[in-house]
Amino acid sequence: MKLDGVELRWVEMPLRSPFRTSFGTQTVRQLLLLRAVADEGEGWGECVAMSEPVYSSEYQEGCADVLRRYLVPALTGEVDGISVVPRLKKYYGHRMAKAALEMAVLDAELRARGVSFGRELGATRDRVPCGVSVGIMNSIPELLDAVGGYLGEGYVRIKLKIEPGWDVEPVRAVRERFGDEVLLQVDANTAYALADARHLARLDPFDLLLIEQPLDEEELLAHAELAKVVQTPICLDESITSASSAADAIRLGACQIVNIKPGRVGGYLEARRIHDVCAANNIAAWCGGMLETGIGRAANVALAALPGCTLPGDTSASDRYYKLDVTEPFVLDDGHLTVPAGPGLGVTPLPEALEEVTVKTEWIPLA
């Protein structure tokens, strides 16, 4: 396959309600969509970088810049999905930008071959159980309303975002209101220090599935130390940047569970390698989310259908975040989403919906 070029598309998706985490509040999801145009057809990619470098070092304009300046121009001549990231090896970092480009090329290739993302990645299920991520709220009653609403919609697992000052009490309140049967976990997005170990151990009585990324992403040994004090299983997210870092974290005892984020680890093929490392080590894995549109969501649902993704992911329905998705919406069916079976991502952006959220586009031609 030969690329003619790649179109970058800046979109702004208004969120149905503000989403607050320990690193900030989002009201609009700004992201970059990529459309790879090749001699054999088109493919779509989605870059998960936020508009500011507050979750990771990458950000939307930085990704656009590295894509136009270095990454897209490197893909001259014959290219296919599996060759994209190796060909970009000389350019350090920028995993989110690389992931988006790999995804667009892979989608174009798979559409041309008539193979779905799920089939290519090795999915073994045609539907996946879905969890939902619940942001930090202004009050406990507001949180209980939100959690009650999601449980009513059928979500099979609840994840509460936590930070110092919003941890033990919200968890206690949710357990007291909704009972011990609810699958419940928390995500700190690096908001704590090892010195908080005894405080975090106060979450142990609530029988949580896991506590996600309590400490800074570079503090693998500190997570291993924390695991000696806290009984709740530790899950790493931000710390897992590759299959190699996942293998190290597991060997060090820094995590018992891994959250795989394809858009953050350099693509779906690296995400599958992380899945394989986890499976080989009997470490449970699940697919996280970055407030993707239906484009990224389609691929995430395919990854979540791999056999080693044994816990419900953050692969929520489209209406968890957006009134209007850019593809046909993903709709919850008895707490599950169907894995798209069509070629490539199995979904295609709807021109009108896409137009409505597009801020600007840019065409990067390949010589």
- Show which residues are catalytic: 161, 261
| Position closest to Mg ion via CB | 237
Report how many residues bind Mg ion under the rule CB under 5 A.
Answer: 3
- Closest CB 212 distance from Mg ion, rounded Å: 5
Q: Looking at beta carbons only, is 9 or 297 nearer to Mg ion?
A: 297
Please enumerate, as own/partner, the contacts of 244-247 that have beta carbons within 8 Å and a separation of 24 or more. 246/274, 246/277, 246/278, 247/277, 247/281
Q: Are 98 and 267 in contact (CB under 8 A)?
A: yes
Residue carrying the six token digits 């590295």:
66
Q: Looking at beta carbons only, is 9 or 264 nearer to Mg ion?
A: 264
Q: Indicate the pairing of strand 41-47 with strand 127-129.
A: unpaired
**How many whole angstroms separate alpha carbon 57 and alpha carbon 6?**
24
**How many whole angstroms separate alpha carbon 155 and alpha carbon 94?**
33
Q: Which helix (H) or strand (E) holds 57?
A: none
Q: Does 292 bind Mg ion (CB under 5 A)?
A: no
* Sites for Mg ion among residues 43-102 (CB under 5 A): none
Tokens representing residue 49 in the block? 């970088």
- Closest CB 21 distance from Mg ion, rounded Å: 8
Of 59-67, 190-198, 206-214, 293-301, the window that binds Mg ion (rule: CB under 5 A) is 206-214
In the chain, DSSP assigns E strands to 3-21, 24-38, 41-47, 127-129, 131-134, 157-161, 183-187, 211-212, 234-236, 257-260, 284-287, 336-338, 358-365
Residue carrying the six token digits 């270095």:
70
- Closest CB 211 distance from Mg ion, rounded Å: 11
- Closest CB 265 distance from Mg ion, rounded Å: 13
* Sites for Mg ion among residues 208-267 (CB under 5 A): 212, 237
Question: Site mask, Mg ion, residues 175-194, x = CB under 5 A?
Answer: ------------x-------
Of 81-89, 190-198, 205-213, 215-223, the window that binds Mg ion (rule: CB under 5 A) is 205-213
- Closest CB 133 distance from Mg ion, rounded Å: 8
Q: Looking at beta carbons only, is 120 or 212 nearer to Mg ion?
A: 212
Residues making contact with Mg ion (CB under 5 A): 187, 212, 237
